[in-house]
């Protein structure tokens, strides 16, 4: 007998108290050990349309709903007695007649018509029906259960989400894509194996049932639990569904063998980090000697990846130990120390002072200190230019200020002084560090790691990208890069292809948003163009991305002064806490440290304790989270307030005023938009954006 869990079970388990969960887990382990053991109080759900639904008594009030046949045993749901029975009475487990995927179908009864759309029932809408041009079998080809075909064909723009919340996920995704004008591909029917197969316990499984559970769409909601360790992991982390259930498109990317570097993109909330984590584990499982690097640009995000990796590999210590999780700066620092000795890293202020001093030492030019520093930082140091010929011939990508030959000679005489001063002081920049490592590994057959998975890859710098290519290799399956050009906030664009990271033909976009409501996603997308292209001409389109759930409209408000803003945000926070949210499920983000005080005043107005986020990205369940937009990456909250969106705050006036190049001004505006986009898309259900008049010009775009 095959033992499985459904995602509906993990969802319902997570809603119980800690004590109730403990009792359910004990019962689940006993059932897996021996489902037929005497002592279990099985009771058939008499009013269920599916005769295979049974309840199992956990304690006086909690009931576990299971579905059992001669071939399979499924943990389907758990709740208090009446709620558990009501759930089972309205469900049946079916193999879809067209797609062949196993589904938990919510039974559609005509007497429930008024309940489907809420109460009271709506009047007949004048809006056009979205899918009435599709015939019954065409609707069912997208995974829609037969009971719900008429509801789908009658759905309008106003009622679509009322209908799809009752449907399997593959049907939701297809209908949402078609509703926004995209094409949706019908689900591929599963192929029946030629002969019955025996499972690990020796029981014969009929081909129809086995293939129904094995269908890619079924795999996203049902998981075979082969060992007690598998069950332990599923029950210990019921809220981390990503550890068990993956979308078929995600799973295909995780397990695929590629012929070179691959890039997976997608807007905020589409699961890029989840795919990266599963990819790292998959690679670590390829051999007993695999060395896998899982990395990103910041220590806080690396810590978050490490925590999730621990969950994903729980009970697989050997696999876990094959994956090194570090920020890229830590990887570079450690390798440099091993190969060349401890590096003495020059701080940004030290470099700025050296550049300024060198500029003063060379006479006969009119270059500002700001221009010199940017030219050093973005061109000379980034591309590791060590002689006049290299600087003379370099293509200054992203720098539109024209510089003639004589001007370049003058500039190089300044930068030669900077390089000499760094050498004299025995200082190295981060670009120097990664540059020397790149030279070392480029000629070595033995690389630093066998594989690398890079999350938030859009924020790789030139020197870091070159290092990744040299230290890992680019000829086969070694490099997997996940990121979103629309969330690039730290680095200027450059050619990945020129550095060996050619992802042309191996770029994939995830389009299903699991984290953010349609309303919040749609609002945040207004900050970005419909498509973003990189320097190599690869375009990432945001068109066709769909959110799987609805929510309230985001609120954008401006105020005469900071005091009124703080009071309003405090009232907003207090209202959400009163409606059932914990303080830890709410966050306030501001542009910079200069505005943190305004966030604190809002927390005080709400009457809640608050913690300020740092690069560890640690949140607390009982305290409101406050942080700058740069620390918003990798986080998620049910409610987010983005405060202090004033004119001259975002975009940051200091950045605008120090611009020395036309292209740089455009880049400042782009990254400032990306920052606001990142902050807004941390919200799952509720978003408030505020500012003091005159407000940021970006709020006009949001409206």
Residue 92 has pLDDT above 90, yes or no: yes
Q: Is the peptide bond before 120 cis (omega within 30 degrees of 0)?
A: yes
Query: Can you give 221-262 as a three-state secondary structure string?
Result: CEEECCCHHHHHHHHHCCCCHHHCCCCHHHHHHHHCCCCCCE
Position 340 scores a pLDDT of 96
* 421 domain-assigned: yes
pLDDT, greater one: 33 or 399: 33
Residue 326 near residue 306 (C-beta atoms within 8 A)? no
Q: How many domains does the chain have?
A: 4
Residue 541 in any domain: the answer is no
pLDDT band at 402 (very low <50, low <70, confident <90, very high): low
454 neighbors 292 (Cβ within 8 angstroms): no
pLDDT of residue 246: 79
- Reported as a single tens digit per residue, the pLDDT across 604-626 is 999 999 999 887 767 777 899 99
My answer on whether 690 and 602 are in the same domain is: yes
- pLDDT value, residue 398: 54
Q: For residue 508, what pLDDT is reported? A: 92
In this structure, are 32 and 171 located in the same domain? yes
Give CA–CA dist 633/675, Å, rounded.
9
499 and 581 belong to one structural domain: no
The confidence band for 195, taking pLDDT boundaries of 50, 70 and 90, is very low
User: Taking residues 105-117, what's their average pLDDT?
Assistant: 63
Q: Judge whether 283 lies within some domain.
A: yes
CATH (domain of 134): 3.30.2310.20
pLDDT for residue 110: 55
Is 18 found in the same domain as 112?
Answer: yes
Question: What pLDDT is attached to residue 114?
Answer: 41
Cα dist. 235→29, 183, 218, 219 in Å? 10, 37, 20, 18
Which of 244-248, 522-526, 575-579, 626-630 shows the lowest per-residue confidence on average (mean pLDDT)? 244-248
pLDDT confidence of residue 543 = 79
Is residue 189, in this structure, part of any structural domain at all? no
Whole-number average pLDDT of the chain: 88
Mean pLDDT over 138-144 rounds to 93
Whether 474 and 503 map to the same domain: the answer is yes
CA angle 121, 126, 130 (to 5 degrees): 90
Q: Does 58 lie in the same domain as 168?
A: yes
Region of poorest pLDDT, from 204-208, 482-486, 511-515: 204-208
199-228: per-residue pLDDT in tens? 433 334 444 778 888 898 998 899 888 777
pTM above 0.85, yes or no: no
Please name the helix (run of DSSP H) or strand (run of DSSP E) that holds residue 292, with its range, or none: strand 292-296
pLDDT at 400: 54
Q: Residue 494: which pLDDT band, with cuts at 50, 70 and 90?
A: confident
Range of the domain at 140: 2-179
pLDDT on residue 18 = 83
Residue-wise pLDDT for 588-600, tens only, equals 999 999 999 999 9
Task: Examine the domain organization and report whether 59 and 134 are in the same domain.
Answer: yes
CATH number of the domain at 615, please: 3.40.50.300
**C-alpha to C-alpha distance for 223 and 244, rounded to whole angstroms:** 7
**Nearest alpha-carbon partner for 538 in 491, 501, 588, 581:** 501
Claim to verify: residue 331 and residue 358 sit in the same structural domain:
no
Q: Side-chain half-sphere of 195: how many Cα atoms within 13 Å?
A: 3
What's the residue count for the chain?
703
Helix axes 299-312, 328-340, angle to 10 degrees: 100
Mean pLDDT confidence for 564-572: 97
Task: For residue 558, count CB atoms less than 10 angstroms from its CB and return exposed for 0-12, middle for 13-18, buried for 19 or more.
Answer: middle
Residue 102 lies in a domain: yes
Give every CB contact of residue 661 below 8 A, 6+ residues apart in sequence. Answer: 371, 374, 399, 400, 401
Give the pLDDT band (50/70/90) at residue 79: very high
Q: Distance between CA atoms of 575 and 29, rounded to whole angstroms?
A: 41
Look at residue 125 and tell me if it is in a domain.
yes
Assess whether 173 and 72 both reside in one domain. Answer: yes
**Sign of torsion over alpha carbons 593, 455, 170, 135:** positive
Q: Do residue 30 and residue 160 come from a single domain? A: yes
pLDDT at 399: 57
Residue 111: is its pLDDT beyond 80?
A: no
Q: Based on the domain organization, do 386 and 328 belong to the same domain?
A: no
What is the percent of the chain with per-residue pLDDT over 90, rounded to a whole number? 58
Residue ending a domain, among 516, 544, 567, is: 516
> What string of DSSP letters covers 98-151?
TT--EEEEEP--GGGHHHHT-SSPPPPP-SPBSSTTS-HHHHHTTT--GGGHHH
Which of 466, 498, 516 terminates a domain? The answer is: 516
Q: What is the mean pLDDT of residues 94-113?
A: 82
pLDDT of 284-334, one tens digit each?
A: 999 999 999 999 988 888 998 998 898 888 878 999 999 999 999 999 999
Please tell me which of 3-12, 493-502, 630-639, 689-698 the model is most confident about, judged by mean pLDDT.
689-698
Residue 541: its H or E element:
strand 539-541
Assess if residue 655 is contained within a domain: yes
- Per-residue pLDDT at 112 exceeds 80: no
Co-location of 312 and 396 in the same domain:
no
Q: Exposed/middle/buried for 325, CB within 10 Å: 0-12, 13-18, 19+? A: buried
- 115 pLDDT tier (thresholds 50, 70, 90): low
Mean per-residue pLDDT, 152-164: 91
- The residue-averaged pLDDT of 464-484 equals 94
Across 97-101, 115-119, 268-272, 644-648, least confident range: 115-119
673-681 mean pLDDT:
95
- Please give the sequence-ordered ranges of beta strands (E in DSSP) within 387-442, or none if there are none: none
Question: End of a domain among 179, 204, 223?
Answer: 179
Q: What pLDDT does 242 receive?
A: 57
- By mean pLDDT, which of 178-192, 539-553, 578-592, 653-667 is the weakest? 178-192
The number of CA neighbours under 13 Å toward the Cβ of 77 is 22
Q: What is the pLDDT of residue 188?
A: 66
- Asked whether residue 231 is domain-assigned, the answer is no
């Amino acid at each position: 007998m095959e033992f499985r869990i459904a995602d509906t079970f993990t969802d319902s388990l997570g809603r119980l108290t800690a004590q109730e969960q403990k009792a359910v887990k004990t019962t689940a382990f006993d059932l897996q050990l021996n489902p037929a053991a005497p002592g279990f109080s099985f009771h058939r759900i008499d009013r269920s349309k599916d005769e295979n639904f049974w309840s199992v008594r956990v304690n006086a009030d909690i009931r576990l709903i299971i579905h059992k046949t001669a071939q399979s045993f499924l943990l389907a749901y758990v709740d208090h007695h009446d709620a558990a029975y009501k759930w089972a009475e309205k469900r049946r487990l079916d193999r879809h007649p067209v797609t062949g995927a196993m589904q938990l179908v919510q039974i559609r009864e005509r007497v429930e018509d008024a309940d489907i759309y809420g109460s009271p029932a709506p009047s007949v809408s004048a809006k056009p029906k979205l899918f009435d041009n599709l015939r019954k079998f065409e609707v069912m080809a997208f995974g829609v259960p037969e009971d719900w075909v008429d509801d789908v064909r009658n759905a309008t723009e106003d009622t679509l989400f009322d209908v799809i919340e009752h449907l399997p996920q593959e049907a939701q995704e297809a209908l949402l894509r078609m509703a926004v004008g995209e094409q949706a591909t019908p689900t591929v029917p599963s192929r029946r194996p030629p002969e019955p197969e025996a499972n690990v316990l020796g029981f014969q499984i009929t081909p129809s049932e086995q293939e129904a559970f094995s269908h890619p769409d079924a795999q996203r909601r049902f998981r075979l639990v082969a060992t007690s360790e598998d069950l332990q992991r599923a029950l210990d982390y019921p809220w981390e569904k990503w550890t068990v259930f993956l979308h078929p498109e995600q799973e295909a990317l995780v397990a695929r063998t590629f012929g070179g570097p691959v890039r997976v993109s997608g807007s905020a909330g589409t699961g890029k980090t989840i795919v990266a984590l599963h990819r790292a584990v998959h690679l670590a499982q390829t051999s007993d000697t695999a060395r896998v690097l899982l990395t990103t640009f910041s220590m806080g995000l690396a810590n978050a990846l490490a925590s999730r990796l621990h969950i994903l590999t729980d009970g697989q210590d050997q696999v876990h130990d094959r994956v090194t999780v570090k920020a890229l700066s830590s990887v570079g620092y450690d390798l440099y120390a091993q190969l060349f000795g401890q590096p003495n890293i020059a701080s940004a202020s030290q470099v700025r002072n050296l550049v300024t001093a060198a500029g003063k030492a060379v006479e006969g030019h009119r270059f500002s200190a700001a221009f010199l520093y940017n030219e050093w930082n973005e061109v000379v140091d980034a591309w590791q230019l060590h002689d006049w010929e290299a600087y003379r011939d370099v293509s200054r990508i992203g720098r539109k200020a024209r510089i003639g030959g004589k001007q370049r000679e003058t500039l190089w005489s300044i930068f030669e002084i900077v390089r000499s001063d760094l050498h004299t002081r025995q200082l190295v920049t981060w670009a120097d560090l990664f540059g020397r490592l790149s030279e070392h590994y480029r000629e070595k057959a033995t690389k630093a790691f066998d594989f690398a998975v890079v999350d938030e890859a859009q924020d790789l710098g030139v020197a870091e990208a070159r290092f990744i290519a040299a230290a890992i290799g680019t000829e086969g399956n070694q490099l997997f890069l996940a990121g979103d050009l629309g969330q690039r906030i730290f680095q200027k664009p450059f050619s990945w292809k020129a550095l060996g990271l050619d992802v042309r033909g191996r770029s994939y976009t995830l389009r299903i948003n699991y984290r953010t409501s349609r309303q919040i996603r749609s609002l945040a997308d207004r900050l970005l163009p419909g498509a973003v292209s990189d320097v190599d001409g690869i375009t990432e389109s945001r068109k066709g991305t769909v959110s799987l759930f609805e929510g309230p409209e985001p609120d954008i408000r401006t105020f005469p002064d900071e005091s009124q803003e703080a009071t309003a945000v405090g009232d907003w926070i207090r209202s959400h806490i009163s409606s059932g949210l914990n303080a830890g499920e709410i966050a306030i983000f501001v542009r910079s440290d200069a505005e943190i005080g305004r966030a604190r005043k809002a927390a005080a107005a709400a009457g809640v304790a608050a913690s300020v986020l740092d690069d560890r990205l640690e949140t607390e369940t009982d305290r409101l989270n406050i942080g700058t937009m740069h620390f918003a990456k990798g986080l998620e909250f049910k409610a987010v307030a983005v405060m202090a969106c004033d004119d001259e705050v975002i975009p940051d006036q200091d950045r605008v005023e120090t611009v020395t190049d036309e292209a740089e001004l455009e880049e400042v505006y782009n990254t400032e938009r990306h920052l606001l986009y990142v902050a807004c898309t941390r919200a799952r259900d509720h978003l408030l954006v505020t500012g003091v008049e005159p407000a940021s010009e970006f709020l006009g775009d949001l409206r």
